[in-house]
Structure 1
Amino acid sequence: MDFKDRETEKQLERVLLINYSTSKDDNLPSIVKAILAAEYAQTLNSEFCLEHIKPLVGNKDFKKSILNAIQAESELHFNWLCTGIASILYFVQNNWTGPEVKDDINWLSVIRNNVLQELSLNDQCNENMSKPELLHLAKTIFSSKDLQNVFESSLWWLFRANLLHSTILEELSAVLFDETESLILKIVEQDILQDTFLKTLFHLEATHFYLTYKRIQNSEHYLKIANDVAMLRMELVGAMGKRTKYQQEEKAQLFLKIKVNKELFPSRECKDLPKALELNDDLRLERIEFSESVEKVNLNALEEAIILATHFQIKISLPKDKLTDEEIIPYLTTIIENTRNWSLKMSSLCQRCLLESNHKRTIERSMSQIEYLIEQLNNTQTAYKMDLFFASGMKPIWQYKHMLADLMLNVGMVKGALELYLNLYLWEDVIVCYTILELKHKAAEIIRQQISKKPTVKLWCLLGDATQDTDCYETAWQLSGKKSSRVQRHWGLYYFAMKHYDEAVPHLKQSVELNNIQENVWIRLGFAALQIEDWKLAATAYRRYCELEQTSFEAWNNLAKACIKLGDKSRAWRALQDAVKCNYDRWEIWDNLMVVSIDLGHFSEVIRCYHRILEIKGSHTDVQVLRILTKAVVDDIKDAEGNSSRRLLQRTLELFGHLTSCVPNNSDIWRLYAELSAAKKTELDDQKAAQYLQRAYRCAVSDPRWFQTADGTQSVLDLSLALADDYLSCSRNCTAVQKRAMLGSAKLSLQSVVKKVRDQELINQTEISKSIEEIEERLNEIVKELAIINTMN
């Protein structure tokens, strides 16, 4: 085949990216046929590899030697590309799709130790990972600028390699994230994405990359593009149905309504799919029985991959609760019941196992299903397993085993779980099991045994956790060359657990400086900084945490607190806006938002907050906030946006109507309600104001002992004086009949108050005496007004 034909090269690149060809295999080069047939080991042991790569293995700088060879052998660029693809897919087979192959590529495995150190990025790769030299070889080949200039797909394969690299690391790497994000920006500009199938596929893979790093907004962006290109529309709708065998009354159940506004993307069917095990429960049905007709839409694999990615997106962006579970189940059900793609079926069944692992009626199926899936991973390799693998969100083999161990622990099979944890080198979980078995000393013994065989940074950190000996952290720090974020994290969390926050802060801070994508460290650093009143550090830590994890209302709330301490109330207000989005039912957050809103003049938001607090709590009294709001509306003070606050008069009256129905016995609230009603300046509202003033007075004197203490007496006198002024003010816009009734009521009320107070010894106190004199002045004024009215009649 003439590889100088660029169109032919593009077609071959496309075939390799999607893992199958729609044309006859006879038209393909033998190396491409081998890759599509999953003959990866044979490809890596081919004459080309033995002649051009094997001699370079002994070189001191293997990576540089490879890049130089690619540059020098331009006529063999396609062979280099295919070798990189075979290498990465063989790595996927051994660590994701199975079966794991014990035999190494002998000529390549000699660089394993050096490769591990390079791939670790100052931390550590997962110890269960197999054949890391395959990933390293692939990354090296795809990073060749010469290859990238010839084959656009080379950048895409490098992106895929980085996606795998992110998964095998014990800690997510900021360096790898920045490098991969830069790759994404380059790939979206390439001509290769003019193909709508490839454009959809790449944006799905980018979605999974951002989900790995919990970048919710970025993942939403790329998922939306994939949706739009595929013209796929999904909507959760309700239909009547039954969920249990003995259910008499049908209830609304969720199902996924799907519509595709274009011809489906091509795909091929895998004939040897993993099975979804039956529930076999004596109560629950295998699946919801809908009484209404539920339309089913036939989809192909790429459309199904979009649906599965949507499941992952919703799962990571919403709080972990039963409502979220109910929302994401229809997406999984759609894939499980319909897909003919191996990777999508494995991934969706795995996700269902996770959902069902916390429910007593489904945990048994969850365990059986995950055991079955592990068996499927060990089945014979087929080329079909790689179809859409990078867009499936499929977990590595060791994570399936980890899930099984967790399930065993959940049902009380501690020793069985312990054995699995030991085999998977999950020392944190080993410590948990030994603690449950009351053999915590064994955990330290096991870790010391491992250290004697091969000391690692992780093992020394875990020994420090198990023995509470900070010397272990110091040893780990030195072993890492003072570059491990893990060491500083463990060290800082040790002090954090002891509430020695001043000692924890330096270690936690250094940990995030070494690796800035550690949500659990940022949030603890923020809390520790709050405790030692380092407001600037607290604000920085919580701000960074909220960028990584946007669904924690506590973090947003604490960020607001730190901003307030720094005097930045505007930023605090924005943080609290995000906090209420995360937890709509926490009244304390609404109260904080209300207080900051009143300070900043967001009066419309104050009204919204108070309504929501009343809906949650049933009653709530904050006279200070209400007083400021009332004054703003009555005096027409400009709000934060420079708008008139008088426009909120009707909404404020509605708030007081809601409030007085919940809190009927607060005189201050009734008085403010009266003031607002009087501000409308209509005859009807003046009458309402008078009624509200009377309610205020009754509430004030409802306590029969109000006049027996100085504070109680002064409070009622202040209110009576204010009420007298309000009565006089309101009566000026009334008819004579209304005025007589209003002032007559005021006269009786004030006379009663004056008499009660004058009969007490407290009358001799200066402030109380002065208040009584002022009230008597208002009383005389009221009497004169009444006399004038009577004269006129």
Structure 2
Amino acid sequence: MASLYLENCRVYEKIFLLQNSSFDQLTDSEDELSGLVGRGSYIEALKTPASQAVFNCIGERVDNLKQHITDAVSHFLNSKHSGDNATARHTVFCIGISVLQLFVQSNFTGPVLVSTLLDLFPIMEKEDENKEVVRTSAMEYIAENTEGVYPLLRNPEYLMMAKLLLCNLLDSKLVSGFTNDWWAMRCYIILQRVADEPSSVFYESIQKCINEMEPVMKKDRELHALFYLEAGQAYLLYSDVRQAAEHFHKADAALKLKYELSGALGKRTKFQVEAKPQLVLKVQYEDQPLLAGEAEGPKLLPIDLPKDLQLNDDTRLPHYKFEEDDDRVPNLVPIEQLAILVKLQHMRRSSASDLQLQEESKAYLNALLQFPKCWAIQYISLLLRSKIESQESRAMDRSLQQLNELVDCFKRDEPSRFERLKLFYASKLPASWVIKQTYGRLLVQLGCTKSALVHFEELQLWEDVIDCYNTIQMRQRSEEIIRRLLEKEQTPKLYCLLGDATDKIEHYEKAWELSNKKSSRAQRSLGDHYFNIKDYKKASEHYQTSLDICYIQLSVWAKMGYSALEAEDWRLCSKSYRMCTVLEPDSFEYWNNLGKAHANLKDFTASLRCLKEAARLRSDCWKIFQNIVIAAVTVGKLPDAITAYRRLLALQPRHVNIPVLKKMVEVYLTNRTEENGLKLYKELSKFLSEMCNTCPSESELWHCYGAVVSTNPQPTVESRDLSYQHYRKSLSTYARGSTWYKDKDMCKNAIMKLLRVEEALMECIEGVAPESALNSFRSAFMSLNNVMLLARKGVTNVATGEVVPDCVELLKDGNASVDRIKTKIDTLAAKCSS
């Protein structure tokens, strides 16, 4: 057992070696195999007698290499060490790890392998065998449960064997070693990353592995952090941002690492005199670094790491110059750097791209690039920085050169494969063709479309080829290329690409039929076709079919939600956006649209909850707060409506929505009780007072204010007079100007306001001295009489002298109101003179 556990092994080595104690009794041969796998000598491990014995136990190879491997391993597991085959299972497990790591080396980290699988296992080689047939067979097995894989995979036989051993044969038989689920998860992740489309089968298998591993991981704190980082990256691969965030948080808790963005004074340019606040990442520990006592391993020289190219600009500094090294971070160990890296990747995946995100990303990258230690982390950090700088004119040149440097890194022999593979799975290092694709897309961005076109054709990235030909207005050329490929092989993917190149729906339908009605991409393309021509009902039908085949498609859920929204299918809209919020809970648009769907379904409580979440994620969008106000008023939550309206006014200072304000007053009048009446009154009256001060010319606003003040739970002479003044202000602002009386409806509204002013006036003089009351009535009479004179003129036909029929009764009420005030004046005047 001692050979399985290396003293002081680092966290990124433990997972290669850690196994259950049932492997105590190992022969010298298996002991040697474990040591080679632990040191990353995978080719040597496969050449050991223990590995070779697995495939020497049966006769000559059958034509199908996959079947031969299956038969050999099954025979080996069932025959060796009869009664206790733990050692045999451990041997097969080590072979599975080795072939998976070799495939990753050849396609993701480099350098490319020279030895093929049959070179390492000569016993499996057949004389005069067509190597292309073996490759095709391996590709077909890898592509099971997918819609195709990248066609230029190197050494696919290694991944075929890894899938057979780690995901199929050992999944049910290797129950003694608890890390077999971890390695199965890693294998599924690699299978997904080489596939063209998301696979729900792989997603469910990964979830199963994570659920099996999670209880075990709590036993080892070091592996705890790494496991959760990898599990989070697996969820992020399928755009399940919520699950990813939960696992990243668990990793941070295990590491006891705290980091947050802060500000520090610094300079960006060579000629800058005064330091300005810049974003920096502050890193702290709750107690001590997790690996503070870690045994020192071999240090990588700068020449062994991807080269960090310096910015050669006559204005900008290569790095921000901070005062007193405010940007310095602790000398983090690789696993701690990794935690920061995945936080950055999660942030960039879950947030909308804007200037703030770019600045925050730079702060994270500055912290990661200060003390480079791990090849994979340095590689990803430089790649992310290149993507950011590709949008900046002064750094675009370095971005292009840095990407070229990263492409070249793949071909170099140093550092060793073991150094490159450390933390590979948790870092989400892209495949070699993805890096080249990024380089080609930057060429397109720089206007070098034809150079990029050659690049994409060599990589067989046909989607990018079509985009390039569309850019240079040669769409017929992309059609020619796809048709030439179809002459060699007809696949659903190629027919979908032909449909993209020609915009003809029959090609998508052909792809659907060719796939035996199993291609989610074909249905997605059909949905996109109808979506583009705004036939949203049909688009939703095809999107639903695509999701029935593979439900982990965030973009499809979003498009189906929008299609249902436009078609006013609110139940489907609600279902779609609810799934979007599960997969990506940090998108304010999804929450806002889900709130709209609930509102149209008359579920205003759920609508309010969704809109609040949208506002939390996007606090600078006034329309969200307007929707919150409407939803809160509808469900009768006046405090929420007032709070949201205040936020709305902070963004739109003079925003007045009279129907909503009237509804707020109505809610107040309906919901007030003896317990909450005074509190609601104070909140609403204060809010309306602030609004009237901001928008003093809004007549209806003063009317609402007067209506609230008139209901003061503790009325006084002052409050009644204040209500009267607000009503009078409402009337005066409404009847301001010389043209309002020409509109019949405005005349009617003016008379109704006048009647309310009279009512408030009668209430406010109760308990007031006759002299003060007389002054109030005389002042009111002058203004009200003027309003009635103009209103009477507005509702009277000039030619006939007759009052408009529907205004007769209202005009009588108005005249009577003025007469009552005049009578009251006479009465008060007589009383004062006596």
- The reply to whether TM is greater than 0.5 is yes
Distance in 2, matches of 1:329 and 1:515, equals 36
485, 504, 523: which one pairs with 1:450? 485
Q: Provide the C-alpha distance between the structure 1 equivalents of 2:222 and 2:442, rounded to a whole number of angstroms.
A: 39
The alignment status of 1:487 with 2:489, answered yes or no, reads no
The change in CA–CA distance for 1:550 and 1:98 in structure 2 (over 3 A counts) is same
Aligned pair partner of 1:700 in 712, 734, 744: 734
Q: CA deviation at 1:516?
A: 0.8
Give the CA deviation at 1:2: 7.8
Out of 465-474 and 645-654, give the one that drifted further.
Answer: 645-654
- Give the 5 Å matches for 1:553-572: 553-572=588-607
- Opposite residue 750 of structure 1, the aligned amino acid is L
Provide the residue aligned with 1:203 in structure 2: 228
Give 1:714 deviation, angstroms. Answer: 0.9
1:353 equivalenced with 2:386 (yes/no): yes
Q: 2:611 aligns with which of 561, 567, 576?
A: 576
Residues 648/270 of structure 1: CA separation in 2 closer, same or farther (3 Å cut)? farther
Match of residue 398 from structure 2: 365
Q: Following the alignment from structure 1 to structure 2, what is the Cα–Cα distance between the partners of residues 567 and 385?
A: 56
* Aligned equivalent of 2:307: 275
Aligned-partner SS, 1:189: helix
Partner of 1:135: 159
- The answer to whether the Cα contact below 8 Å between 1:536 and 1:566 also exists between their aligned partners in 2 is yes
Backbone CA RMSD of aligned residues: 2.9
- Equivalent residues in 2 for 1:82-231, closer than 5 Å: 82-106=94-118, 107=124, 111-120=134-143, 121-143=145-167, 144-145=170-171, 148-190=174-216, 193-231=218-256
CA spacing shift, 1:720–1:463, aligned 2, 3 Å: same
CA shift digits 1:532-570 (9 cap, x unpaired): 343322222222223223344443333333333333333
Q: Which amino acid aligns with 1:666?
A: E
Aligned AA for 2:329? K
Among 45, 67, 76, the alignment partner of 1:69 is 76
Question: Counterpart of 2:90?
Answer: 78
Superposed displacement of residue 789, structure 1: 4.3
Provide the C-alpha distance between the structure 2 equivalents of 1:643 and 1:514, rounded to a whole number of angstroms.
55
1:319–1:551 Cα contact (<8 Å) kept = no
Secondary structure at 2:625 match in 1: helix
> 1:530 is matched with which residue: 540, 555, 565?
565
Q: Which residue of 1 aligns with 2:22?
A: none
1:243 aligned to which of 241, 258, 268: 268
Q: How does 1:311-350 map to 2 (within 5 A)?
A: 311-350=344-383
Q: How much has 1:71 moved relative to structure 2?
A: 4.5
Q: CA deviation at 1:788?
A: 5.0
Compared CA separation, residues 790 and 28, structure 1 to 2 (3 A): farther
SS of equivalent residue, structure 1 residue 239: strand
Counterparts of 1:347 and 1:20, CA distance in 2: 26
Deviation, structure 1 residue 736: 5.0
CA offset at residue 434 of structure 1?
Answer: 1.2
Q: Distance in 2 between matches of 1:352 and 1:331?
A: 10
Secondary structure at the residue paired with 2:783? helix
Name the residue aligned to 1:540.
Answer: 575
Matched-pair contact (CA < 8 Å) for 1:264–1:299? no
> Residue 765 of structure 1 corresponds to which residue in structure 2?
804
1:365 Cα deviation from its structure 2 partner: 0.7
SS of equivalent to 1:298? coil
Q: 1:730 to 1:10 in 2, by over 3 A?
A: farther
* Counterpart secondary structure, 1:338: coil
Q: Is contact 1:18-1:388 (8 Å) kept?
A: no
Which among 318, 327, 330 is matched to residue 286 of structure 1? Answer: 318
CA contact (8 A) 1:67 1:140 kept: no
Mapped to 1, the partners of 2:486 and 2:568 lie a distance apart of 40
Q: Answer yes or no: is the 8 Å Cα contact 1:148–1:155 preserved in 2.
A: no
* Superposed displacement of residue 225, structure 1: 1.6
State which of 491, 499, 511 in structure 2 corresponds to 1:464.
499
Which residues of structure 2 form unaligned runs of 5+?
Answer: 19-27, 119-123, 126-130
Other structure's SS at 2:263 match: strand
Q: Give the match's secondary structure for 2:697.
A: coil
- Residues 1:376 and 1:104: Cα distance change in structure 2 (over 3 Å): same
Q: How much identity, in percent, do the aligned residues show?
A: 27
Return the alpha-carbon distance in structure 2 between the equivalents of residues 67 and 647 of structure 1: 76
Which residue matches 2:656?
A: 621
Deviations along 1:387-433, whole A, 9 cap, x unmatched?
A: 21122121111111011001111111111111111122211211121
Deviation at 1:684, TM superposition (A): 4.3
What SS does the corresponding residue of 2:680 show, helix, strand or coil? helix
1:372–1:686: structure 2 CA closer, same or farther, 3 Å change rule?
same
Q: Within 2, Cα distance between the matches of 1:212 and 1:738?
A: 77
Larger displacement relative to structure 2 (363-372 or 767-776): 767-776
Bigger mean CA deviation after superposition, 676-685 or 221-230: 676-685
Tell whether 2:777 aligns with 1:751. no
Paired with 2:29 and 2:517, the residues of 1 have a C-alpha distance of: 55
Equivalent position SS for 2:369: helix
Q: Which moved more, 1:225-234 or 1:108-117?
A: 108-117
- The Cα of 1:448 is off from its aligned counterpart by 1.1
SS of the aligned residue for 2:215 comes to coil
SS in 1 for 2:318: strand
Q: 1:383 to 1:757 in 2, by over 3 A?
A: closer
Seen in structure 2, the aligned counterparts of structure 1 residues 508 and 466 have a Cα distance that, compared at 3 Å, is same
Structure 2: how far apart are the matches of 1:306 and 1:645? 52
Q: What is the alpha-carbon distance in structure 1 between the residues aligned to residue 747 and residue 634 of structure 2? A: 31
Change (3 A) 1:16 1:755: closer
Is the 1:230–1:262 contact (alpha carbons within 8 Å) kept by the matching residues of 2? no
Q: Secondary structure at the match of 1:240?
A: strand
| Matching residue's letter, 1:171 | E
Contact kept? 1:70, 1:146, Cα under 8 Å:
no
Structure 1 residue 366: Cα displacement = 0.8
Deviates further, 523-532 or 735-744: 735-744
Aligned-partner SS, 1:664: coil
Distance 1:232 1:738, change over 3 A: farther
1-side partners of 2:556 and 2:719: how far apart?
57
Matched residue of 1:236: which SS?
strand
- 268-277 or 300-309: which moved more? 268-277
Please tell me whether residue 52 in structure 1 is matched to residue 76 in structure 2: no
Is contact 1:512–1:518 with CA below 8 Å preserved after alignment? Answer: yes
Return closer, same or farther for 1:736/1:274 CA change in 2, 3 Å cut-off: farther
Secondary structure at the counterpart of residue 256 of structure 1: strand
C-alpha change, 1:276 and 1:122, in structure 2 (3 Å) is: closer
> Bigger CA drift: 224-233 or 117-126?
117-126
Q: Aligned letter for 2:158?
A: L
Q: 1:732 aligns with which of 760, 766, 770?
A: 766
Is residue 239–residue 292 contact of structure 1 (8 Å, CA) maintained in 2? no
- Helix, strand or coil at the partner of 1:303: helix
Tell me the number of residue pairs that the alignment of Structure 1 and Structure 2 aligns: 782
- Determine the structure 2 residue equivalent to 1:418: 453
Q: Note the alpha carbon deviations across 1:297-322, whole angstroms, 9 max, x for none.
A: 22111111111111112222222111
Distance 2:271 2:768 in 1: 68
What is the alpha-carbon distance in structure 1 between the residues aligned to residue 270 and residue 540 of structure 2?
A: 56
- What is the distance in 2 between the residues matched to 1:729 and 1:631? 21
Deviation at 1:738, TM superposition (A): 4.8
Deviation, structure 1 residue 719 = 1.4
CA distance in 2, matches of 1:407, 1:585: 32
Does residue 652 (structure 1) correspond to residue 684 (structure 2)? The answer is: yes
Q: Is the 8 A contact 1:207 1:223 kept in 2?
A: yes
Task: Give CA-to-partner distance per residue, 1:632-661, whole Å, 9 cap, x none.
Answer: 3345447xxx98364233332332233224
Instruction: Provide the C-alpha distance between the structure 2 equivalents of 1:416 and 1:42, rounded to a whole number of angstroms.
Output: 41
Counterpart residue number, 2:25:
none
